[in-house]
Amino acid sequence: MNQNSESTLHLYMLLLGGKPKGRHTEQHDIFFAIGDSLKALVPDINLFWPEAKGELHIDAWREVKQVGAYSIEVVPRAAISRGQDTDHLFFVNLGGYQKGLFDEPHFKVLTVQKNMAAATKEAKNTSFYRETQFPGANSHIDDKYGLDVDDIYDVEEILPLYQREKYALKITERNSEIQDEYHLGYFKLNKLP
């Protein structure tokens, strides 16, 4: 990762796609990392999913700068002290079902909350959660049902280890009308800007 200036570092959220050997369909996973560009993340992407043997691509990405009413900045870890009432950036992966669809659609949620319980409650208020279930096939946060959670993470805790040790996310309430841009498509790692 190019670390010319910490002020140019950004948090990225990537939807990675690949078809590891022995699989019949493309697999996906979410990857969070800090860098000054998408291209700078390529070594970390390959370390994150070694089974794909470098045959990965990005299906969607965003530079995470604004989540709801909160701005997100990357700062040196020493610049942040975390208390009990500190806001955290959570990633929630919701799964659901639709009648007649042989699949489990997923919906990714980023939310700023004080704790996982509040993040879970927020995720369950989404239209996806309410609309992708029917008797016998309830929407869920993957691997758990009801109030338990599993596919919910404090984003700082799932960054690459060396990034967690060096950087923190500064979350500031700033009711901005500008929301993050989503970049959708098929992005080859060797052709990233």
pLDDT digits (tens, 9 = 90+) for 135-152: 777 766 665 544 333 488
Q: How confident is the model at residue 4 (pLDDT cuts 50, 70, 90)?
A: very low
Of the listed ranges 39-43, 48-52, 111-115, 162-166, the one predicted with least confidence: 48-52
Contact 42, 189 (CB under 8 A): yes
- Phi, psi dihedral angles at 113 (to 5 degrees): -145, 170
d(CA 21, CA 163): 29
Contact 37, 166 (CB under 8 A): no
- Phi, psi dihedral angles at 166 (to 5 degrees): -100, -30
Model pLDDT for residues 87-125, shown as the tens digit of each residue: 999 999 888 888 888 988 888 999 999 998 899 888 888
d(CA 40, CA 12): 11
More confident: 53 or 93: 93
Confidence check: pLDDT of 52 > 90? no
Task: State the pLDDT at residue 145.
Answer: 44
Strand, coil or helix: 163: helix
Mean pLDDT of the 160-182 span: 92
